Amino acid sequence: MNIIDELEWRDAINQTTDEDGLRELTAEKSVGLYCGVDPTGDSMHIGHLIPFMMLKRFQLAGHHPYIIIGGGTGSIGDPSGKNSERVLQSMEQVHHNEQALTAQMTKLFGQDSNISIVNNYDWLSKISLLDFLRDYGKLFNVNSMLAKDVVASRLEVGISFTEFTYQILQSVDFLHLLRHHDVQLQIGGADQWGNITAGIDLIHKELGSDTKAYGLTIPLMLKADGTKFGKTAGGAVWLNPEKTTPYEFYQFWLNQDDRDVVKYLKFFTFLTSDQIAEYQKSVETAPEKREAQRRLAREVTEFVHSPEAVIEAEHISAALFSGEVKELTTSEIEQGFKNMPSVELAAEPENIVELLVNTKIESSKRQAREDITNGAIRINGEKIQDLDFVINPEKEFDGKFVIIRRGKKKYWLGRVNG
């Protein structure tokens, strides 16, 4: 199947500048293509992942992806969809973020000869102001620039000249990659359409109208309820395991709505059409098994993190579901209980009744004794019904944690001081 046909089947194409020409080009040779990300932070989140999943598909189909880490464009900031200017970062912070994003991209795409990671600071920083105005500014019509959606949306509240010129810099990127690396296709999110077409216009003005250059955008990802994909109550879902643990990452995918899961299998996994059809059938006939969500969580977690991260996430999930938390390692406790209520504990042993009251897990000693006697309290997975039981915080989990459970589902993580 031609890569363009595959993307169409996956509902992954929003717009193309010339679909027939692009299909013909990708059928006849290995194509250079690119997508960029600005180092506005030190990690991508899953919203960023969408166009790069498409880039990965091109790579697997034998084409050559170029990834631009936008050290140049990121130093000035693009005009976001918000009604305000971006706060400029120090160049020290920009360079730190560049390194972090380069490491993430290397992990996702590998380090073989069929992938190139470049930084547009390397060529944009060499253009003087006069050269920029003479060589590129003359080729851009202000009226056309104002008509671009991302600029037009900002006209009422205002936009600085710095952010206004962003589309020129991104256009220079496309021209540079075509000239020096034969990159003929740029892909991006739906909001990048104006920047992409501006780049193609620049190429045609500089290299001739018959120069083959193409653009492709990915649809805006919305959930079945109409809200934006990728956001949770806790904020963005990051690819950096320090910001979003692999367990949290796995759980995000596992908890997807039945109405969305097949779409996400198409977008975020490399399963075949036959495999996805089987999962679609399971969603329709046995949704309670959540087989599609489980496969989605496994595939994306393995792609972003590792097979070991999947095993660990499933181990944590099984332990929390069964209550057998004693089987977890200290590292797994840190992941699985990261967002659960926590209490501070002293390192010294303490009577269970006193501990429950002192941490306010129980409202009174009477209530604590009643819950203990009735078997409602578990410490580190073990049911405790002895009112004289003494909790030794240093006994389990390297002396760092005590897991307290009241009832069937209410957990607290005791963090040991000292």
Cβ neighbours, 10 Å, residue 355: 24
Residue 151 tokens, joined = 């600029």
In angstroms, the CA 336 to CA 330 distance is 10
Alpha helices, H only, 191-329: 193-207, 246-254, 258-268, 273-285, 291-304, 307-322
Are 297 and 275 in contact by the 8 Å Cβ rule? The answer is no
In angstroms, the CA 215 to CA 14 distance is 11
Q: Is 34 annotated as a binding residue?
A: yes
Q: Is 250 annotated as a binding residue?
A: no
At 64, is the secondary structure helix, strand, or coil? strand
Q: Is 186 annotated as a binding residue?
A: no
Are 266 and 296 in contact by the 8 Å Cβ rule? The answer is no
Of residues 217, 241, 300, 229, the one with CA closest to residue 103: 241
Of residues 254, 189, 181, the one with CA closest to residue 14: 189
According to DSSP, the residues that pair with 345 across neighbouring strands are 416
If residue 332 lies in a helix (H) or strand (E), which one and from where to where?
helix 330-336
If residue 32 lies in a helix (H) or strand (E), which one and from where to where?
strand 32-37
Residue 211's alpha-carbon distances to 29, 164, 196, 202, in angstroms, are 16, 27, 15, 11
DSSP string, 348-366: S-EEHHHHHHHTTSSSSHH
Catalytic residues: 40, 45, 48, 82, 86, 170, 191, 228, 231-232
Q: What is the DSSP letter of 305?
A: T
Dihedral in degrees, nearest 10, Cα atoms 207, 209, 177, 27: -130
Of residues 279, 282, 290, 343, the one with CA closest to residue 317: 290
Neighbouring C-alpha atoms within 13 Å toward the C-beta of 36: 29
Q: Is 170 annotated as a binding residue?
A: yes
Q: Which residues are annotated as a binding site for L-tyrosine?
A: 34, 166, 170
Q: Which residues are annotated as a binding site for ATP?
A: 231
